[in-house]
Structures are given as structure tokens and as C-alpha cells.
Amino acid sequence: MMFDVASLYIHVITAICITFLLRSNKAKRCFGVITEFEEKLLKNESPEVIQVYLKSSKFANTLCISVASTVMMTGISWFVIGKRESYVLVPTDACPFINGAVFQLWYPFDTEKYPWIYSIHDIFFVVVCTILITYDKTTPLTMILFVIARIRILQYKVTNICDTQDSHSITKNIKDCLKDHQEIIRNMGYLQDAMKEIVLIQYMTYSVDTAAFLISVLIEEDFVEKTRFVFGLFMAVSNMYIFFWFANVLQIESLAISHFLYNENNWLKCNKNQSKLLQMMMVMSQRKLVLKAVAVGEMDITCFTKMMRLCYSVVTFFFTVYGN
């Protein structure tokens, strides 16, 4: 129970901190870039390019719903089992539990006369916490997915650079792709600037959260309580894996641009000046776009495995020292 409560407080404090960080000017600049790009996309781009973006947006929407579902399942299980425990516990003079109250707080009224007030308080608190936690987990993820969507649009454009027979049109297509690549690199800089503190907080929260829930699952004997901890552990590990997976996808997709330049378009028909522009773009695309955290480094699948090993070490240390 101690680890469960600690995890709840960590989540609430983290959600509040990240919410304030997402209201900063740096984050607002990223949101402005997304809004500006979508307005430009609908006005100037071809239906095929719009379809590529809509496909990525649909996937991002499904993924965010999945993340939100894990948070809601954990919140509901925590709330329902907390309600159950409040009726199981026997109140005493030293510890006067309130039957039906998830959060055993002091209320400035007669709890027996107005039981519905603390029930409303519990529901309100759980709903607000669920919304905040969902917001702080999905918003950074959508920013990463936006950059990935832009890269995939560029990959599509690169594939069709030489589809026309007009040399001037080919040159224009190449310059447009170069301009798009510059914007992607610039947007990645904005994203890194806005998320370096957020990613660090997420990293620390996921580490502590996973270790806390894992210890709770291992030491809890009651099946119902263990179920609550299993939901929490699943939420922590799955959300952590999704975050690091797509940070890793960002690196892979950014490097894949050079593959599309060399293998997926008919660059042999380009003239000398056009080939130089393509070479310039190929050189720049060989530098992967990386999301980093302060004092941690690159966010990728390797970082996820390191974090899991860290959690395992914490759990092993706990059972070694306090096992008896």
C-alpha cells in the first residue's frame, strides 16, 4: 500500500509539473508549428500528400486512445478497489476510517450525515488526476508523432521527385524537398528545446513507478489488491515502451530519408546541378534526429532496456535489504 500511495503522489505531482511545462512558450511554439503546417498542408499540398499525413494522424489518434485507456483502466481499478477496502476496514478511535471514502481525509462536516459530499470529492479527484496524467503522457507523444509524420511526407515526396520529364519541375521538386528537410530539422530543434525537461521527468517517473508497482505486485498476497498493482504495472511499462519505441522510430525514419533518395527515385536522370542538391540532402539526412533528456542522453529502445534493468536492480536491492 505504501508504494501504491507513493506512486499516486508521484503521478499527480509529475502531471502538474508537465502541464505547466506544456504551457510554456517553448511548447506553445511547437503547437504553433503544428497548426501552421496543417493549415499550409490543406491549402497547398496534393491529395496524396494529405492522405499520407491523415494516415499518420489516424495512427497517432489510435495510439493516444490506447495510452489513455491504460491510464483510465488503472484509475478505475484503483478507485473501485479503494472503495471496496474502505468498507472492509474496521474504524477505531485511533484510526476512524470513513466507510465509502477512497481518500481517508479529515472533512469539516458530519460524514455520517453528508456521505455524498466525500463521494463527490473522490470521484472529482480521480477524474481530474486521470485527465492530467493522460494529458502529460499523450501530448509529448503526439509531438514526436508529428515529426515522424512530416518525415514520412518527405519520404513520399523524395520518391516522386523525378516522376516528371520537365527538368525545371524536377529542380523545383528537389528544392521543395530540401526546404521541407530544413523545416523538419528546425522543428526537431524546437521539439528538443521544449521537451528536454519533460523527457527527464518522464524518465524518472517511469523508473520509480515501474519499480514501485513491481515491488507491490511481488509482496501483495491479496488477489484483489494484486490486481490493482498489476494494472498499474501494465500502465507504467506499456506507456514507457510506447514512448521510447517512437523516440527510436524517429531516429530510424530520419535516417531512412537517405535510403529513399538513393533507392526509391530515378536520380540517374538528374543533371549535374540537381545531383549536387540531392547529394547535399543525402549528407544531411545521414544525421539522425534524436530526442535527448537532460543528464540521461538519447531516448531509444536501448534506454528502455537500461531503465528496466535499473528497476530490476532496485527491486532486487529492496528484497535483499528488507526481504525478511
Q: What are the pLDDT digits (tens) for 161-197?
A: 877 777 888 888 888 889 999 999 999 989 988 888 8
Beta bridge partners of 56: none
**What's the mean per-residue pLDDT of the chain?**
81
**Which H/E stretch holds residue 298?**
strand 297-298
Question: C-alpha cell of 195?
Answer: 521537451
Inter-axis angle of helices 167-219 and 272-285, nearest 10: 10
Residue 86: count other Cβ atoms within 10 Å of its Cβ: 19
pTM above 0.95, yes or no: no
In 3-state terms the chain splits into helix, strand, coil percentages (rounded to 5) of: 80, 0, 20
Q: Cα 168 vs. chain centroid, distance in angstroms?
A: 42
pLDDT band, very low/low/confident/very high, at 15 (cuts 50, 70, 90): confident
pLDDT for 146? 92
User: Going by DSSP bridges, is the β-strand pair 297-298/292-293 parallel, antiparallel, or unpaired?
Assistant: antiparallel
- pLDDT higher than 80, residue 201: yes
d(CA 103, CA 111): 13
- pLDDT higher than 60, residue 52: yes
Rg of the chain in Å (alpha carbons): 25
Beta bridge partners of 297: 293
Question: 291 with 299: CB under 8 angstroms?
Answer: yes
pLDDT for 151? 92
Beta bridge partners of 292: 298
Residue 287: count other Cβ atoms within 10 Å of its Cβ: 11
pLDDT band, very low/low/confident/very high, at 302 (cuts 50, 70, 90): confident
Tens-digit pLDDT profile for residues 81-134: 766 666 666 665 555 556 656 666 556 656 667 666 777 777 777 788 788 888
d(CA 324, CA 322): 6
d(CA 112, CA 131): 30
- pLDDT higher than 70, residue 4: no
pLDDT band, very low/low/confident/very high, at 148 (cuts 50, 70, 90): very high
Beta bridge partners of 298: 292
Buried b (16+ CB within 10 A) or exposed e, 222-241: eeebeebbbbbbebbbebbe
